[in-house]
Amino acid sequence: MLHRIGAAGGIAAVAGAMQSMGWFGVANAAPLAQMPGDLGNRRSVVVLGAGFAGLVAAYELEQRGFSVTVLEARGRVGGKAWTVRDGDTIEMVGEEPQTARFSEGLYFNAGPARLPSFHQGVLGYAKRFGVPLEVEVNSSRSAYLVSQSGSKLRMRTAINDMRGHISELLAKAVNQGALDQALSVDEKAKLLPFLKFYGDLEGEYTFKGTTRSGFGTGPGAGVSSFESAAAPVPLADLLANDQLQMMGFEDNLYMQATMFQPVGGMDQISVGIERNLKKRAILNADVQRIRQSPESVEIAYVDTRTGKAQTLKADYCICTIPFPVLAGIDANFAKPVASAIAGVVYEDSNKVAFDAPRFWEEDQIYGGLTFVGGETSLIWYPSWGLHSERGMILGCYSSGEPGKKFARRPIAEQIAIARAAIDKVHPGHGADCSAPLVVNWKKVPYSLGPWPNWNPGQRQREHAATDTPAYRLLNQPDGRIFFSSAALSQTPGWQEGALQSAHAGVSALVQQMADRSVTEPRRAVA
């Protein structure tokens, strides 16, 4: 019946029908419930993809007694959690291969590079598998906001001078009675001293500068060298900087201190999970065909090293293959499901990395971001290996429409633009940046994009609430096949979303298994 509804009305009609029949829920992102260790005894599951979602699903299924086989098309685990090291090769569709030639000990996180402290799921897996973490300096008040005109403001200056100007304006409004309808006498009496402290105001609530923004003259020895504040940047000049809004970047909950990163590269958590699997992932396994029947799932794949074709069968499948890749695989999904998969549009995202002497530390920058706007968006400074000789600096991390335009350019031009962005902020040092590497995620095989935009044609907010018919449909199983990935969470750009989706997939699989006949034949992976 659902197939007929889908043929007549498409995905939205199927979603509506399933909702009305009570068959259509939203994947549960709650912590995975405790289940008996022998729950999956003799049941087999094939997991497609050894990214974060696939590895989490495989580990949790094994802990519940399932026989699990993980197939990964790449020669590594981690998926988009990809750490590039010296000697590694970057291959992209339509581009010549690039080989990393980094100084000893350097690495480049081509995908995710930070972990918020409230992402307790991912941090918990790191702890469980003994993956050491270190603090990631996500924001530096010494970094810059750089306008298109080339003028630049220290982050500390922009934040504190703006706070001073706004505090002065608000205090004037209060004292002139402009807010008498909004504030009681008692509230006004409490607000004014707060504004004096908040904006570092003087006398009659005037802002004349603050050492919070940096020193005009710094403190010295003896009694003649006192610190003083520089004259404040005029409000008009602050407002003229088109990157001013980025001074609130670190207020975003996802970007607030304390942030973390795995020691040695973001892929280390995935590596830690995989090495604790009872059955290690099969790498270089390029899935060619997916078939399911009422009784089983059959996967045909090719070993990309030897060219050998192989087939395996299992009771169930958890598929974490990115949808643009999955759309090109021969599969007998239900037509509405296949249509939904084919319709998922992924965004663009780019990074350009350089091996360089740590010239930014001479500018008091130890980690964090300088915002430059345009096609390159920002400069990202490393927060590990401080005071060592060299480090990895990003001259570009862009996405959305600017990222799409940037990725269309030739690789050499992308490198030149990223280098120029660094030189604009740190004059003369663009030439110091060597061993460039470019990653355009829309061109990366087996990914073909970083995260989806479920509402193509609309401007995507970073954490927009997603509830489209296709999203709902793909959060449900298609027979014995369950879809899991960060793309099916409300945080598609974060590993925590992948973990939540994996947990939801495991729970749904267990529920389906319980709903099936207890006399169903049990099959080990063949």
Residues 6+ apart with CB under 8 A from 117: 123, 256, 257, 258, 259, 260
Tens of pLDDT along 475-522? 999 999 999 999 999 999 999 999 999 999 999 999 999 887 555 655
Tens of pLDDT along 166-178? 999 999 999 999 9
Tens of pLDDT along 382-439? 999 999 999 999 999 999 999 999 999 999 999 999 999 999 999 999 999 999 999 9
| Residue 458 pLDDT > 80 | no
Q: What percent of the chain has pLDDT over 70?
A: 91
Mean pLDDT score, 111-140? 97
Residue 467's SS3 state is coil
**Could you tell me if 294 and 269 are in contact, meaning their C-beta atoms sit under 8 angstroms apart?**
no
Q: Given pLDDT bands bounded at 50, 70 and 90, which one contains residue 224?
A: confident
| Residue 24 pLDDT > 90 | no
Q: What percent of the chain has pLDDT over 90?
A: 84
Distance separating alpha carbons of residues 166 and 163, to the nearest angstrom: 5
Distance separating alpha carbons of residues 344 and 454, to the nearest angstrom: 7
Mean pLDDT score, 35-43? 78
Mean pLDDT score, 86-102? 98
Q: Over the chain, what is the mean pLDDT?
A: 92
| Residue 101 pLDDT > 60 | yes
Q: Given pLDDT bands bounded at 50, 70 and 90, which one contains residue 261?
A: very high
Tell me the C-alpha to C-alpha distance, in Å, between residue 448 and each of 133, 367, 483. Answer: 29, 29, 17
Longest dimension (CA), the chain: 90
Beta-sheet strands, E only, within 400-461: 434-440, 452-453
**Could you tell me if 429 and 389 are in contact, meaning their C-beta atoms sit under 8 angstroms apart?**
no
Top mean pLDDT of 12-16, 34-38, 67-71, 463-467 is at 67-71
| Residue 52 pLDDT > 70 | yes
Residue 144 has a pLDDT of 98
Q: Given pLDDT bands bounded at 50, 70 and 90, which one contains residue 38?
A: confident
| Residue 193 pLDDT > 50 | yes
Distance separating alpha carbons of residues 507 and 333, to the nearest angstrom: 21
DSSP character string of 152-191: EEEHHHHHHHHHHHHHHHHHHHHHTTTTTTT--HHHHHHH
Residue 518 has a pLDDT of 55
Residue 459 has a pLDDT of 67
Domains of the chain, first to last: 43-80+268-345+465-526 (3.50.50.60), 83-143+255-265+347-443 (3.90.660.10), 154-240 (1.20.1440.240)
**Could you tell me if 393 and 365 are in contact, meaning their C-beta atoms sit under 8 angstroms apart?**
no
Q: Which two tokens stand for residue 208?
A: 């004349």
**Alpha carbon 233 to its chain's center:** 35
Q: What is the DSSP letter of 432?
A: G
Pick from 161, 3, 35, 10: nearest CA to 514: 35
Q: Given pLDDT bands bounded at 50, 70 and 90, which one contains residue 22?
A: very low
